[in-house]
Structure 1
Amino acid sequence: MTPELAQLIKDRVGSDIDPTNFAVFEAIALNTKPLRGKDGTLHERAVVAPVTLRQMADHIKNGGHLPLISDHQLTGEPQGRVFDAELLFNNVNDIELRVLFYLDPTESRLISKLNAGSLDEVSVSFFPTQFLCSECGWDYLSPEADYENFFDRTCANGHTIGEDGVHADLVGLSDFIEVSLVARGAADQPRIVGKSDSKLQPASSMRLAAHAEFKDRLIVQASRGEDPVSNFDPTALVTELSDVKAEVKVLKAAKETFDATITSLTGERDTALTRVTELTAELETANTELETAKAESKIEEAAAALSFMQTIFCNLTVASGKEKPKDDELPTTVAELEKEIKAMTSDLTSILPVGGTANPAKEGEGDAQPKLVASAYTNRKL
C-alpha cells in the first residue's frame, strides 16, 4: 500500500476508510477480442465494443460501487471492491480494461491464495445497452425481440449466432454488476501480472485472469476475450491461388475463342439474311415475269387449240372407218395433228361427189343415161 493508492481509495470509496492494511491487485478484466463463451449460447464469440469498456472504466473512476465477490455469488458478502480502472492498448492492438481492486485484512486467506497463484482469475458481470447482430445490427434487446429470438439465437433477419461467423456485438453499458474471483476462466495461459507488468500501480501485486461463464441469456458474465485459433496455411493458399489463376487463363482464352466464333457467326448470319432478302426480291420479280410471259405467249389458248385439234383428229379417224385412238396414241404437237388431219381430210374428199352426188358409173355398168340431181329442182311453180 502506497500513499497514492491509499488516497485514491479514499477518493473513490470514502474519506473515513483506512486502507493501511488493504491488499491491492491489478487485473485485466475484459478486452475487445471475441469472448470465449460456451458453445450454443447467445454470447458465443461475442465482442465487447470499445465504447462499452470506456463506460465501464468511467463507472469505476466516477466512484460507482462495484463489489469484488467469488464465483458471481451475489447472495454472500463481498470480498473486496474495485476502485480504479483504465483503458489501454496491448501489444496486439486490441483495447483492454484494467482494474484495481482491494481486499481488507479479513480476507487473509484469499490474499494468500492470490499471492500464491492458486486463485488468479477474474470475471465480470454486466448488462449491455444493445445486443446487436454482427451481420445486420438487429438488437436482441429491442421491443421487437421475443423469446424465440433468444432460444434460437437468431435475429429477425435470419442470422444465427455461431453460424458463418455471426456473433453478438455488445454495445454500451446499462449496468455494471460485479467483478468475481473465479477458479477457472476460459482464457488460455492466465498469468500473474507482476510489478514489472503493472500499468496502473507498479508497486502492487496483481493477477491477470479471464472467465467466460454465462448464467443466463441477458446478463453477460465474461472475462477477457481471445483471438480465434487460426489454421491458416499459406502454402495451401498459394497453391489454390495458382490453380485459380491457371483456370482464369483457360477461361479467358476460351472466352476469346467464343467471342471470335460469335463474331464470325454473326457476320455469316447477317450475310445470309441479306442474301435471303435478295432472293426473295428475285423470286417476286420472276413470278411477275412468269405471269407476263404467260399472258404474252397465250399458253392457255394454245393448249385449248391443241385439245380441239386432237378432238377433230379423233372424229376424222372414226369418220374414216377406223377405231377411235386412245389418249396416249394421240399426236401431241400441232404439226403432227395438222399433218394427220390433212391426210384424212384428203382421203375423205376423194370419196365424196362434187355437189354432193355420187360418181357416175363406168361405161357398161347400169343405166348410161344421166340422172336428175336434186339441184335440178326449184321451189318455183311451173
Structure 2
Amino acid sequence: MKQLPMTPELSDLIHKAVGPDVDTSKLAVFETIALNTLPLPGKDGTIFEKATVAPITLLQMVDYINAGNHIPLIADHELWGAPKGRAFFAGLEYNTDGIEMRMLFYLDPSETALIEKLNAGSLDEVSCAFLSTEFLCSECGWDYFGFGATENIYERTCGNGHHIGEDGVHAEMVGLQQFIELSLVARGAADKPKIVGKSDAKLAPEAALRLAAKGFEPNALVVQASLGKEIEMSDNIQLMKDFTDEVRKTATLTAEKATLTADLTARTSERDALKTENERLTTELAAAKAESKTPEDYESSKSEAGEAVAFLQEQYQHLRVAKGEEKLADDKLPTTVADLKKEINERTANLTAILPVGGVSQAAATDEDGKAKLAFDASAFATRKN
C-alpha cells in the first residue's frame, strides 16, 4: 500500500494549501517523483527529444506549489474534466542521477477506483504539464522562445544551425512561465516519474520529524532561491510574466543594437574609403601643381613656332613663283602649319614627278646643225709624222 497515513503534519500542509475548512480525514495522500533533470525519454523525433529541465525550473515549480497556488490533479491531461485531487506540497531531492522534484498530492474520497490502482501499483506514474520561460539550444544557448524565432521549433534547428537529435544537441527548459497541472498517466514523460510508497517517501512530515529528533533543522536543508532570504512567491505567475517581458525587451534591444552596430560599421567603412580617396586625389593634385608650367615657360616654344610659320610662308611664296603664280600679300598667306603644309604639298607634287632618278641631268651639246657634239677633243689622239 503506497498511501501515506494522514498525520497532523500532513493535515496542516493541506490546510495551508487549500484552507482550514477541508476535511482531511478521508483524503488519500501519495508522494511522487514528478520531474527530474534527466533527459526526457520517448520523445524522439520531436522538439523535446532528450530535452532536460534546468534545476532552477524545478526550484521555481516547487516554490510555486508551496506558495499555495492551485495545481490540479487530473488523469491523462484531460483538463476539461473535474480534477481528481490536488498537489499541495513539493520539494527537491539530490541523488547520483541529478535533481528530482517530489510532490505530495491527495485524491478525493470519491476516487476509490484510482486510489485502489495507486495502492496496487497498477497505476504508478505521473506527468507534469508546464511551460518554461526559455527553451535553449544545449550547444549554443539560442532561445527557441526568443526574439527572431520563426519556424525553428518545427524544424528543430536553432538560429545557429544546431539540429536537435544530432550530435547530442537537445533543448534545455529554463525557468517557469506557467505550471498547468499534474496528471496520473500510464506512462510519464519524465525519466522514472514514479509514485513512491511510504518506505521511499521523503516529503512526508514524519521524515522532517526524524531529522529534528537527530538535531537537524529541516528548514536549513531546503534550497532557497537567494542566500539567507525567504522569497515570497504569492504572485509567481505575474513575476515570471514580468521576467519574460523583460527578457523579450532585452532581446529586442540587443537585436536593435546589432543592427545599429552593423550600420555604424558600414558607415565607418564608407568614411574610411572616402578618406583614402580624398588623400589619393590630394596627392595627385599636388603632383600636378608641381609639374604645371607658367606662361613664361611657353614663351620660347611660341617664338620657335612663329619662326617655323614664317619659314613655311616664305617657302610657300617661292613655290608660287616657281609655279608661275603671283606672290600673295602677307595678310593673305596661311597662318597655320597645317594650312601651309597642305599648300606646299600641292605645289611640290608635280615638281617631284619631273625630277629624274639620281638627280638633275644635263642636256647634250649640239652644233649649228643640231648634231650632238663629242664631249672630248679628238686631236689628242693624232699620230705623229716623222
The two structures have a TM-score, normalised by structure 2, of: 0.50
Larger radius of gyration: 1
* Distance across 1 between alignment mates of 2:76 and 2:69: 21
Is the 2:31–2:195 Cα contact (8 Å) retained in structure 1? no
Matched, 1:51 2:56: yes
Question: Any residues of structure 2 matched to 1:311-330 within 5 Å, and which?
Answer: none
Who is 1:113 aligned against? Answer: 117
Of 137, 142, 148, 2:141 maps to: 137
Identity over aligned residues, as a percent?
A: 65
Q: CA RMSD in A?
A: 1.8
Who is 2:91 aligned against? Answer: 86
Counterpart code for 2:57:
T
Who is 1:28 aligned against? Answer: 33
Is the 1:126–1:175 Cα contact (8 Å) retained in structure 2? yes
Who is 2:16 aligned against? Answer: 11
Distance verdict in 2 for CA 1:40–1:102, change over 3 Å: same
Who is 1:99 aligned against? Answer: 103
Distance verdict in 2 for CA 1:124–1:192, change over 3 Å: closer
* Distance across 2 between alignment mates of 1:189 and 1:68: 18
Q: Deviations over 1:202-221 (max 9, x none)?
A: 769xxxxxxxxxxxxxxxxx
Of 155, 161, 172, 1:152 maps to: 155
* Distance across 2 between alignment mates of 1:144 and 1:191: 38
Who is 1:170 aligned against? Answer: 173
Counterpart code for 2:169:
V
Of 192, 196, 200, 1:197 maps to: 200
Who is 1:224 aligned against? Answer: none
Q: Deviations over 1:161-181 (max 9, x none)?
A: 000100001000000000000
Question: Any residues of structure 2 matched to 1:347-362 within 5 Å, and which?
Answer: none
* Distance across 2 between alignment mates of 1:104 and 1:63: 18
Of 56, 60, 77, 1:72 maps to: 77
Counterpart code for 1:194:
G
* Distance across 2 between alignment mates of 1:53 and 1:168: 16
Distance verdict in 2 for CA 1:188–1:143, change over 3 Å: closer
Partner SS for 1:87? strand
* Distance across 1 between alignment mates of 2:124 and 2:103: 14
Distance verdict in 2 for CA 1:127–1:191, change over 3 Å: closer
How much does 1:15 deviate? 1.4
Partner SS for 2:177? strand
Partner SS for 2:111? helix
Which sections of structure 1, spanning at least 5 residues, go unmatched? 205-382
* Distance across 1 between alignment mates of 2:136 and 2:191: 27
Is the 1:196–1:202 Cα contact (8 Å) retained in structure 2? no
* Distance across 2 between alignment mates of 1:173 and 1:112: 33
Question: Any residues of structure 2 matched to 1:292-311 within 5 Å, and which?
Answer: none
Partner SS for 2:110? helix
Partner SS for 2:196? coil
* Distance across 2 between alignment mates of 1:199 and 1:156: 42
Is the 2:33–2:194 Cα contact (8 Å) retained in structure 1? no
Matched, 1:185 2:177: no
Which sections of structure 2, spanning at least 5 residues, go unmatched? 1-5, 208-386
* Distance across 2 between alignment mates of 1:12 and 1:188: 28
Of 1, 7, 15, 1:2 maps to: 7
Aligned positions, number: 202
The two structures have a TM-score, normalised by structure 1, of: 0.51
Is the 1:132–1:138 Cα contact (8 Å) retained in structure 2? yes
Is the 1:81–1:102 Cα contact (8 Å) retained in structure 2? yes
